[in-house]
């Protein structure tokens, strides 16, 4: 059964997007419909769909991205075991990071939850924030 929330990204070239997600970031293609330019991808418990604009069914009543970068105002957070292999693969392909790896602690009530994270844009400009958990601690200061 799929996750309760699975984003679908409208993309300009589904094969290029599939290669980025699978060959570089390590997603698995669970299934695809090439005749529709569609692919369902997973990485751990994270799932996304990519759908090529103009192929198959397209929501074309003003909801399609008009220009790069697609997905303005949105970034998708994806939990992974470790970010180091992804960062290395992106650097090897000379893909720039939108946000370099950082350690960030976020206050949640009287505790803080830590992430080691980075942000990269996919081929259409969707921002992806990958993070590994660092645990929790009491609020500092």
Confidence band (pLDDT; 50, 70, 90) for 69? confident
Comparing 69 with 20, the larger pLDDT belongs to 20
Assigned fold of 8-55+69-136: 2,3-Dihydroxybiphenyl 1,2-Dioxygenase; domain 1 (3.10.180)
Convert the pLDDT of each residue in 71-81 to its tens digit.
888 899 999 99
Distance, in Å, from the CA atom of 129 to the CA atom of 75, rounded to the nearest integer, reads 7
pLDDT at 57: 64
Convert the pLDDT of each residue in 5-64 to its tens digit.
899 999 999 999 999 999 999 999 999 999 999 999 999 999 999 999 877 666 556 566
Where are the domains positioned within the chain? 8-55+69-136
Q: What is the DSSP annotation of 18-51?
A: HHIIIIIT--EEEEEEGGGTEEEEEETTEEEEEE
pLDDT at 3: 82
Distance, in Å, from the CA atom of 23 to the CA atom of 19, rounded to the nearest integer, reads 5
Comparing 55 with 115, the larger pLDDT belongs to 115
Distance, in Å, from the CA atom of 26 to the CA atom of 52, rounded to the nearest integer, reads 20
Vertex 124: Cα angle to 49 and 97 (nearest 5): 105
């Amino acid at each position: 059964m799929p996750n309760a929330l699975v984003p679908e990204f409208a993309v300009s070239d589904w094969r290029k997007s599939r290669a980025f997600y699978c060959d570089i970031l390590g997603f698995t293609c669970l299934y695809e419909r090439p005749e529709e330019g569609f692919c369902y991808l997973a990485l751990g418990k994270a799932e996304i769909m990519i759908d090529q604009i103009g192929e198959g069914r397209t929501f074309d009543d003003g909801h399609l991205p008009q220009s790069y970068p697609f997905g303005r105002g949105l970034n998708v957070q994806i939990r992974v075991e470790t970010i180091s292999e992804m960062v290395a693969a992106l650097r090897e392909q000379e893909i720039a990071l939108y946000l370099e790896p950082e350690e960030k602690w976020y206050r949640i009530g009287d505790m803080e939850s830590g992430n080691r994270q980075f942000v990269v844009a996919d081929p259409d400009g969707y921002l992806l924030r990958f993070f590994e958990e660092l645990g929790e601690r009491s609020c500092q200061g």
